Amino acid sequence: MTSDEEYPEEVHQVTSEYVETRSHAWHHEGSNDQKRNRFEILMVVDSEGREFQPTWGEKPTELFPGVMAREENGVQHLHISRDVCPIRILFRWYAEYVSYTDSEHNSSWTTYYWIRYVR
């Protein structure tokens, strides 16, 4: 994956000192099926176009000045200073449906999208 790949993009204006964005996951299991959704942070691109893949751990690590990455209980967090904007973040959204009774209805898909944070 590279920062020049074309995916849908949302633009968010940062109006406070910083913004925190995070991944999330959702899982539901019933008696006949299960559904899973996972949003993951794959890459951060700084205002000069340099690409960074976060190193996830409980202890915060600096991706570059103004952006900190950490993971807590399986959730990825990015703490972004307004001063480093504009930056772009590439997310992956994965969804899966599994039927325990009718496998022909099983499905999964993956999509990618950018969020651009601006001042």
pLDDT digits (tens, 9 = 90+) for 85-115: 999 999 999 999 999 999 999 999 999 999 9
Q: Could you check whether the bond before residue 86 is cis, i.e. omega within 30 degrees of 0?
A: yes
pTM: 0.86
Beta bridge partners of 94: 38, 110
Q: If one looks up domain 9-118 in CATH, what number appears? A: 2.60.40
pLDDT digits (tens, 9 = 90+) for 39-56: 999 999 999 999 999 999
Residue 83, classed as helix, strand or coil, is helix
Domain ranges of the chain: 9-118
Is residue 2 pLDDT above 80, yes or no? no
Q: What is the pLDDT of residue 18?
A: 95
pLDDT-derived band at 6, boundaries 50, 70, 90: confident
